[in-house]
Structure 1
Amino acid sequence: MEPIYFIHLTDTHIISPRKGFLFNVDVITKLHLIFDAVKELSIKPQFVVISGDLTHDGDVEDYQFLKELLNEKSSELGIPVFTALGNHDSREVFREGYLSEEPTAEPYYYEKMIGELRLIVLDSQIPGRVGGHIDKGQLDWLASILQTPAPAGTILMFHHPILPTISPRTTLLLNREELATIIEDSDVIGILTGHIHYNSIGEFHGITSLTGAGTGFGFDPTTKDSIRVLDNSGFNFIMVKDRRMMVSPMSIPSTHKEMFRLPIEVSRKISS
């Protein structure tokens, strides 16, 4: 079986250009630079995934702009882009602005076959909260889907991480052990998440779990009394071969310098 290559992005935090910059950060240019870097790769990926926080508390205009931007990049690369929702997203507004559907508060989850690889996207959002949880309806659906293995295996994608990191503030998926009982001994070979704005890789019940760096800006995982926001931007180039997921973190030119800090009160709220 030939290797399957794809790109993992996360935490784009896009806002409409009419609104200016987010925290004085040009997140739109950062995303353009990411796609420029992908275009220059000698190995062409077969698809792109984005694991949530597509916009920053966005409205319909923000999602419409993001859709136009991603459609443009998808056309340029000749490959599809698949998205998940994060805590800064709105299910209703996403459906109206990005999907051009009637707005509903139902979780956004689905499966896609890309060649012999299966991608399953889940919705870990708890509306109005920073933390994450995957509801019983999705877990039951996932268990049913996984009864039939995919030839190259299955990749899961959702927003909230499932493994602790070196940061004392990591907000983990609340019911990760419920998820574990479903994916153990299944064909799941990798899990993709976001939320924390830096790369973190480990194993969850024997399955490779990747939390990606944000495309718009980064966080310093070592600060204890604040959130230190950095001029970082990156993505992950992923290869699936022999039913294993292998990850190459990549970055675009950035200063890696501190842009600002959020005080401890905000940090505690974000970590709650």
Structure 2
Amino acid sequence: MQCSLRNTADDDGSNKEGGDDHDITIIHISDTHIAAADDRGARPQRDYDSRATFDLLCQRIADSGLRPDLIAVTGDICDAEHGERARQAYRHVGERLAAAGGRIGCPVAYSMGNHDERAAFRDVLLMQPALPGNATLSSGAKLSDETASSGDATPPMHAVSPGIVNTSPRTDRTDRTDIADTAALRGLRSDSRRSRPMEIRPSHPDDGVDYSFRLPTRAGELRVIVLDSSMPGRNDGSLSAQQLNWLARLLGDSAPAGSVLLMHHPPVRPYQFEARQWELDAASSANLAAVVRGSDIRAMLCGHVHLASAATFAGVPVSIAGACSRNQDPFWSRATTHSWDANHSVNLVLLRSTGHGTESLITPAPLAGGD
């Protein structure tokens, strides 16, 4: 059976025009592993083409007809690049997803992973336009490098908010920078939305990149929280007391439509035993559980293990997205890891409000196959 992201007439909510107005839909992407555009990448021994897979994914999203509320990318966005090479990789990802998100009227949020570089991430993706000038691309148009970076259409919408509140001590800037009004974003659906200003956790430039914003949806205002679980130079993950205290403060107030938490390392143990050497440390998982349990977090979105999965953690559903590079073969012995250039997918996360409460549906969407 061939699968794609294309919507059907009998969908149950992923298309806002045909579904339940109380549904919140998120396209969850992870581990894109994009290298700079040459053969001198940080890991030139790679036997996969994650750039081609990622570009296919963006085209599928743009052509899908879906009307999600958010595209979430949970780390390992570049492939262990540094400096300008990392910035080049981030620009490719940012421009392609901004173009795809602009086509379907959807903002994009990014989290750090263990193969990402914080300085380059801050420079490019933290302030990346999410609803770009080419939001008016007609259906079927290709997301070429030229159209993805075109600057002759409507003005950009910064990040996922009309302004940034920056509380980081690395700069004395605490003002709001207003940008183009959403009325200028012609071609988007009639419920084009503006999110609340972003809050960036105060930190040293070498510390994790953590931020939060609120996104209006038809189900109410959704809070999106992003934590950086990476540790430079290491593959395993950790969360500091400062990060957890900041998260606890945010969760002290509930958001009308609840919250989603993005972080690279899943707080649950990996399926493969060997992969546990790269997991989130036990103390961080235990402390995170104490903060998350009983909060308004409706789903956690993670990546890292290159194996599309779903789990629960402290009573919260966890979406673990597959990778655009190599993915784990779950039929291989659990005692080791075995990956191959296949099984590429993203997760579609559907948050529902029902007569008996709320529920979450996590659906892997394979990229293989055609129309």
Alignment TM-score, normalising by the size of structure 1: 0.85
Q: 1:226 and 1:246 mapped to 2: Cα distance?
A: 27
How far off is 1:89 after superposition?
Answer: 0.5
Q: In structure 2, how many angstroms separate the alpha carbons of the residues matched to 1:225 and 1:183? A: 31
User: What's the counterpart of residue 208 of structure 2?
Assistant: 107
Match of 2:107 among 57, 64, 80: 80
Q: Going by fraction, where is strand more abundant, 1 or 2?
A: 1
Compare 21-30 and 167-176 and name the one that shifted more.
21-30
2: CA distance, partners of 1:62 / 1:246: 32
CA distance in 1, matches of 2:215, 2:22: 13
User: Which secondary structure state, in structure 1, belongs to the residue aligned with residue 361 of structure 2?
Assistant: strand
2:349 corresponds to which of 238, 243, 247: 238
Range 130-139 or range 212-221, more displaced: 212-221
- Percent sequence identity is 28
Corresponding residue SS for 2:274? coil
| Structure 1 unmatched ranges of 5 or more | 255-272
Give the Cα separation in 2 of the matches to 1:9 and 1:113: 20
Evaluate the alpha carbon distance shift between residue 133 and residue 157 of structure 1 in structure 2; reply closer, same or farther with a 3 A threshold: same
Q: Deviations along 1:179-226, whole A, 9 cap, x unmatched?
A: 011111111111111001111211112111121111233122434345
How far is the alpha carbon of 1:67 from its aligned partner?
Answer: 2.5
Offset from partner CA, 1:79-120 (integer Å, 9 cap, x none):
111000000001122223444798932211111212221111
Deviates more, 1:159-168 or 1:225-234: 225-234
After superposition, the Cα gap between the structure-2 partners of 1:76 and 1:128, relative to the gap in structure 1 and judged at 3 Å, is: same
Quote the Cα distance in structure 1 between the aligned partners of 2:327 and 2:100. Answer: 23
Aligned Cα RMSD in Å? Answer: 2.3
Q: 1:77 to 1:129 in 2, by over 3 A?
A: same
After superposing the two structures, state which structure 1 stretch, 181-190 or 212-221, moved more: 212-221
Deviation, 1:236, is 0.8
Contact 1:220–1:230, Cα closer than 8 Å, also in 2 = no
Matched residue, 2:32: 12
Give, in whole Å, the separation in 2 of the partners of 1:240 and 1:149.
16
1:36 offset after TM fit, Å? 2.5
Please tell me whether the aligned partners of residues 199 and 212 of structure 1 are also in contact (alpha carbons under 8 angstroms): yes
Greater shift, 64-73 or 153-162, is seen at 64-73
The CA deviation at 1:63 is 2.3
Q: Could you tell me how far 1:251 is from its partner in structure 2?
A: 0.5
Alpha-carbon offset, residue 10 of structure 1: 0.2
Provide closer, same or farther for how the CA distance between residues 100 and 145 of structure 1 changes in structure 2, counting only shifts above 3 A: closer
Q: What SS does structure 2 have at the residue aligned with 1:39?
A: helix
Structure 2 partner of 1:261: none
Per-residue displacement from partner, 1:41-89 (whole Å, max 9, x unpaired)? 3541122000000000122322233333233323233211100000000
Which amino acid in 1 is paired with 2:109?
F
Q: 2:279 aligns to what? A: 172
Structure 1 position 154, deviation (Å): 1.0
Name the CA distance, whole Å, in 2 between partners of 1:144 and 1:250: 35
Using a 3 Å threshold, how does the CA distance of structure 1 residues 184 and 69 change in structure 2: closer, same or farther? Answer: same
Number of aligned positions between the proteins: 254
Which position in structure 1 is the counterpart of 2:295? 186
Q: Which runs of 5+ in 2 are unaligned?
A: 1-20, 129-169, 171-203
5 Å-filtered alignment, 1:23-172, equals: 23-58=46-81, 59-99=86-126, 104-115=205-216, 116-170=221-275, 171-172=278-279
- Asked if structure 1 preserves the Cα contact closer than 8 Å seen for 2:58 and 2:96, the reply is no
Deviations 1:105-141 (CA, angstroms, capped at 9, x unpaired): 2211111212221111100011111100111111101
